[in-house]
A and B are shown apart, each in its own frame.
Chain A
Amino acid sequence: MDQTELFNKAAYRIAGDHGLLVEFGDGIDPAINAKVRAMAKSLEQDMPEGLTETIPTYRSLLLIYDPELTSPEKLKFSLKKIANHLDDIQIAPPRVVEIPVCYGGEFGPDIETVAKTNSLEIEEVIQLHTDREYLIYMVGFTPGFAFLGGLDERLYTPRLENPRVLVSEGSVGIANNQTGMYSIESPGGWQLIGRTPLKLFAPERKFPFLYKAGDKIKFTPVSKKEFHDIAKKEKD
């Protein structure tokens, strides 16, 4: 699809008097997501007057603007200009961020459920979960929570019927066709298969996050001892 067509196919949705949602497609698709990020990057490099924030999502871009300085019509015009040379925009190849995970045991109380649901051994669950890279389509919901794509079908498991009141930060889980990490302690209904000792959200650090939308996540299995060693380093 050429860029003009992409642009013509984009849907514009009004999100109140400060927001314009630009939709580049309908599905969860790495190609659509790449367009979203190219557009976001281009806008961020040269923010049109009155545009205050760009939030990339799976298949759309939410633009937040100051209505005293611009309007959806003006923003659409800026987007049109960019769309014409979207292919020339260099988006850096995705960074792969390695996330150590201690699977099973106290950190992954639901790993057996995931294994049983899919007639797998626990070892196979770990292997299937760690043998690929997952694209971060979007970050949101809680600070540093990554919406990942590409979970192996053989790991699909429904959510818990009774969500937990509190899930520890760093917990790694599966919910239907999604996998993800709890970046902060929160209530949650995902099947927990392990935990990372890394701090996924560290507001006291200069860079509070380990990754952003467009990066990839690679989980690597670690032992309980390695988990505690890394956790200790993270504290210091």
Chain B
Amino acid sequence: MAALKILFPGGYTTVQDKGRFGLQNMGIPVSGVLDKFAFAMANLLVGNPDTAAVLEITVIGPHFEALKDMDIALTGANMGITVNGTPTEQWKTVRVKKGDKVTIGQIQQGCRAYLAFNGGIDVPLVMDSLSTYVGAKIGGFEGRPLQKEDILKTHDAPLCSKERHIPLDAIPEYPPKKTIRIIPGPQDDYFDNGAEALFSSEYMVTAKANRMGYRLQGEAIPIKTGMPQSIISEPSMPGSIQIPPNGQPIILLVEQTVGGYAKIATIISSDLSQIAQATPGDTIIFEKTDLSMAHAIYKQEKEKIQLIKDCIKQKKV
């Protein structure tokens, strides 16, 4: 049933779930949340399964009126949240009553916040996902970012019996200078010294940064003499670092399926949450790792999420 009325949509607010899978061979990007950790925590706090859809909020938060009693939780970027003007906290369950006015502020640290509602946002399933893919105007709420006066529904679900919160030591920091781990390839052989070129300078996130990709600025990385400036177009992965002819790296993200330039390296999946939280002007320092290490980090990350889930469930909150 109707759950919230948007009074102010914020900078760029879309409905996202974990993504749209299995259709990249038809040109459908995975879409979905950019920061998977913050997303998982938001759903956990309101008792949702990890398939539920949330709001992904970018830079400036929305204001809305609750149209029913709900549990909500805001995670990810530090933006501040007030209910009827009274500040409350992020990374915990917040009970709102019908008629309450909720205001999400602007980024203090990080770039994207995630707002979950108990029951999950109720939008039609499009090609097996609830995610908005604005490029093709599909999914989410009418295939577009939210606008003033939109009325969103949530699925009916019981309220939490107790307030939940994420343990303090599990809440990530989003520093403006980030170390991001990469695995060389798939086309590191197109560059002198392979992926090493990425480590010679810091890279700044430019204003051209969105869900398709981030353009970076720093020391230009030339293609090795004798190698072509582009490759035969091929699919990309979220986190692929592509080098166009001007030598300035582009991190490809979740609304991209194909690239035509050599990819010097790929960011490990566990560090994509930090990329999601980078804003224009932030600095990235790349650090090399290898595949077995990346797989170990991936498993640790999953165990960490499981541990937080267990911890919250044991408290029976």
CB < 8 Å: which of A17, A52, A186, A201 contacts B183? A17
- A28 surroundings in chain B (CB, below 8 A): 232
* A15-B240, A203-B127 known; A58 vs B232 contact (CB < 8 Å): yes
> Do A16 and B27 have beta carbons less than 8 Å apart?
no
- Chain B 24-44 per-residue mask, 1 if CB under 8 angstroms from chain A, else 0: 111110000000000000000
How many interface residues does chain B have, given as a range? 35 or more
- A203 surroundings in chain B (CB, below 8 A): 126-127, 136, 138
- Chain B 9-53 per-residue mask, 1 if CB under 8 angstroms from chain A, else 0: 000000000000110111110000000000000000000000000
* A138-B233, A208-B127 known; A17 vs B268 contact (CB < 8 Å): yes
Question: B137 — nearest CB in chain A belongs to which residue?
Answer: A184
Question: B241 — nearest CB in chain A belongs to which residue?
Answer: A16
- Chain A 52-88 per-residue mask, 1 if CB under 8 angstroms from chain B, else 0: 1111111110101001100110000000000000000
Q: How many angstroms from the CA of A209 to the CA of B136 in the assembled complex?
A: 13
CB < 8 Å: which of A15, A18, A141 contacts B233? A141
- Chain A 1-31 per-residue mask, 1 if CB under 8 angstroms from chain B, else 0: 0000000000001111111010000011000
Q: How many angstroms from the CA of A16 to the CA of B26 in the assembled complex?
A: 21
Chain B residues numbered 263-298 whose CB sits less than 8 Å from any CB in chain A: 263, 266-270, 291, 294-295, 298
CB < 8 Å: which of A13, A18, A208 contacts B185? A13
Q: Does B222 contact A (CB under 8 A)?
A: no
Q: How many angstroms from the CA of A139 to the CA of B257 in the assembled complex?
A: 10
Question: B266 — nearest CB in chain A belongs to which residue?
Answer: A16
Query: A222: shortest Cβ distance to chain B, in Å?
Result: 25
> Do A143 and B27 have beta carbons less than 8 Å apart?
yes
Q: Does B234 contact A (CB under 8 A)?
A: yes
> Do A62 and B298 have beta carbons less than 8 Å apart?
no
> Do A140 and B266 have beta carbons less than 8 Å apart?
no
> Do B291 and A72 have beta carbons less than 8 Å apart?
yes
> Do A142 and B27 have beta carbons less than 8 Å apart?
yes
Chain B at the A interface: SS class: mixed
- B22 surroundings in chain A (CB, below 8 A): 52-53
Q: Does B258 contact A (CB under 8 A)?
A: yes
> Do A56 and B25 have beta carbons less than 8 Å apart?
yes
Query: B22: shortest Cβ distance to chain A, in Å?
Result: 6
Q: Does A191 contact B (CB under 8 A)?
A: no
- A144 surroundings in chain B (CB, below 8 A): 26-27
Q: How many angstroms from the CA of A183 to the CA of B136 in the assembled complex?
A: 9
- Chain A 190-233 per-residue mask, 1 if CB under 8 angstroms from chain B, else 0: 00000000000101000011001100000000000000000000
> Do B136 and A184 have beta carbons less than 8 Å apart?
yes
Q: Does B187 contact A (CB under 8 A)?
A: yes
> Do A53 and B186 have beta carbons less than 8 Å apart?
no
- A103 surroundings in chain B (CB, below 8 A): none
- A19 surroundings in chain B (CB, below 8 A): 186, 237, 266
Q: Does A107 contact B (CB under 8 A)?
A: no
- Residues of A whose CB lies within 8 Å of any CB of B are 13-19, 21, 27-28, 52-60, 62, 64, 67-68, 71-72, 138-145, 147, 183-184, 186, 201, 203, 208-209, 212-213
- Residues of B whose CB lies within 8 Å of any CB of A are 21-22, 24-28, 126-127, 135-138, 183-187, 232-235, 237, 239-240, 257-258, 263, 266-270, 291, 294-295, 298-299, 302
The list of the 5 closest CB pairs from A to B, nearest first, reads A16-B266, A13-B186, A17-B294, A140-B258, A14-B185
